[in-house]
Structure 1
Amino acid sequence: MKPLIVAQITDCHLQNDPDHRYRGRDVEQSLVAVVDDLLEQGDAELILWTGDLVHHGALNGYSRLQNRLAALPLPSYWIPGNHDDVELMLQLGGRMNLRTIVEQDWVILLLDSTSQPDGQGSGQLAQTELDFLEQQLQRYQDYHCLVVLHHNPVPVESAWQDSIMLANSDAFWALLAGHRQVKGVVNGHVHQTRDQLYQGVRVLMTPSSSVQFKAGCDLMTLEDEPTLARPAYRLLQLYPDGRIATRVKRVAC
């Protein structure tokens, strides 16, 4: 059985000025290294860009990213994170703003979790997003489903990050409970890797293409283990029987 192969790149934190660094890292160089490595693998069929793409989102950053993605040999789809400018993404993104992707035996649903920001990094799914999710799950109930959002919908056992996770995660999980075709939930936001089952659904969190945060910390702490601190992306193999095989690829740069 040939799987659908999907890449996830997240939390790029590109600066409006490409010469500026984010937390000491040249995030432009990191993203180039991540994309080059992904293309060298040669098997991904599409890329999901899961938020915090441009730090304190501004036009130059998005225009630069848009041009970069347009030149890639495979399609890209993006969603906003808490640092993004949703309106700019909608204006510039064109087909990258597509919310429902149907490929082979799978439907991929992309959500905007940036409603009702608290100014600290939290967000939630607006009622319109929950309605969209319900409608699409009803429409594609004969497909395996992957749900994609920026904010983590389950805690990660880091006090500072758990305070800014998906604020209405209970409503999200209550909705998913009625749709057993949902096989996986993928998010960014936490800048670290995690793979767990929650209410029978596989939840996958992915390190950043920029800097990584150390797991299990009360306060924000940058990852200091050299391998774990590398920029990273995720590859997902979505099989026709609903199985998900996945790995995180860390990139030296």
Structure 2
Amino acid sequence: MAWFDEAYSFDKSSLNIAHITDSHLFADKSGEYFNVNTAKHFEKSLTHIAKQKPDCVIFGGDLTQDHSFESYLLFSNLINQSVLTCPVFWVPGNHDELGMLNRISGAQINAAKRITANGFDLLLINSKGPTPAGWITSNHLDEITQCLVSSSKSNVMFCHHNPLPINGYLDKHMLENGPQLLNILVNSNNVAALFHGHVHNEYTQSFRELAVYATPASSVQFVKNTVNWQQKNTGPAYRMLNISSVKGELNVKTDVVWLSE
């Protein structure tokens, strides 16, 4: 099956979407990533997201820190035990394994990579490469191009890795062919924005006329503008989006929600 073959449809022209990313869970619910209990932060985020009454949640990758299947089961259990009732979609991060993500998909956790609404689509990209840096294969770039060329709708894109440098340590692990992806998106003339995780903080950038947004982590944040890898526990965070199509015009509104520790 091609990456975008499976679709999930909403019969509405406006969607409220929560983007949460970089949970870095362990098999043990008490596991800590840089002295942060990541499961506790993820639970707190899910509880707060549910109050926003989203139509869906998009998880931006790096589910696991210890690479155990039990950490994926914990992710699934925390979602199932939360008061969140909407579908949860995902893109893979550099820490993740597609096989394990697919194993926990079903029911509320949905493996679809194309989410359709009236007037726009959301496309979820695979940026996982052979190293911690991101890489989109030529075949997948062709899939993205074809999906955009054949679409009469506006599109909003999601991936894990940052396609643009952030003037920080993680630039060594950014999406290595990010400019190629971004040029494809801009040249299609029907992409409104790209959202990503990976960088563990909030950024707003642009490439030509395309808006590029980074969502902070639910686990721990990385200090901005430093070549050294520095962490800071400022509490979990996620991003809310409202995307609406009005008379053929796509409106994308977004804000980051910070939850104090």
TM over 0.5: yes
2:52 match: 41
2:243 to 238, 245, 253: 238
Shift of 1:67: 3.1
1:173 matched to 2:182 = yes
Pairing partner for 1:203 from 212, 217, 220: 212
Mapping for residues 26-105 of structure 1, pairs under 5 Å: 26-42=37-53, 44-70=54-80, 72-94=84-106, 96-105=110-119
Q: Alpha-carbon deviation of 1:143?
A: 1.2
Bigger proportion of residues as strand: 2
C-alpha distance after superposition, 1:1-53 (max 9, x if no partner): 973111100000011221211110011111111111111122x1100001001
Structure 1 residues 113 and 252 mapped into 2: Cα distance closer, same or farther (>3 Å)? same
* TM alignment of 1:102-251, pairs within 5 A: 102-117=116-131, 121-140=132-151, 142-158=152-168, 160-223=169-232, 229-240=234-245, 241-251=249-259
Matched residues, percent identical?
26
The amino acid across from 2:31 in the alignment is H
Contact conserved, 2:43 with 2:78, CA < 8 A, in 1?
no
Unaligned runs of 5+ in 1: none
Classify the secondary structure of the residue corresponding to 2:75: helix
CA-atom RMSD in angstroms: 1.7
Select the residue among 14, 29, 35 that pairs with 1:3: 14
SS in 2 for 1:90: helix
- The CA distance in 1 between the partners of 2:33 and 2:157, in whole Å, is 29
* TM-score, structure 2 as length reference: 0.88
Please, which of 13, 19, 32 is the counterpart of residue 30 of structure 2?
19
Q: Is the 8 A contact 1:56 1:84 kept in 2?
A: no
- Describe the SS at the equivalent of 1:162: helix
Q: Which amino acid aligns with 1:230?
A: G
One-letter amino acid matched to 2:67: G
Q: Is structure 2 residue 260 aligned with structure 1 residue 252?
A: yes
Q: How many pairs does the alignment contain?
A: 243
Question: Which structure 2 segments of 5+ residues have no match?
Answer: 1-11
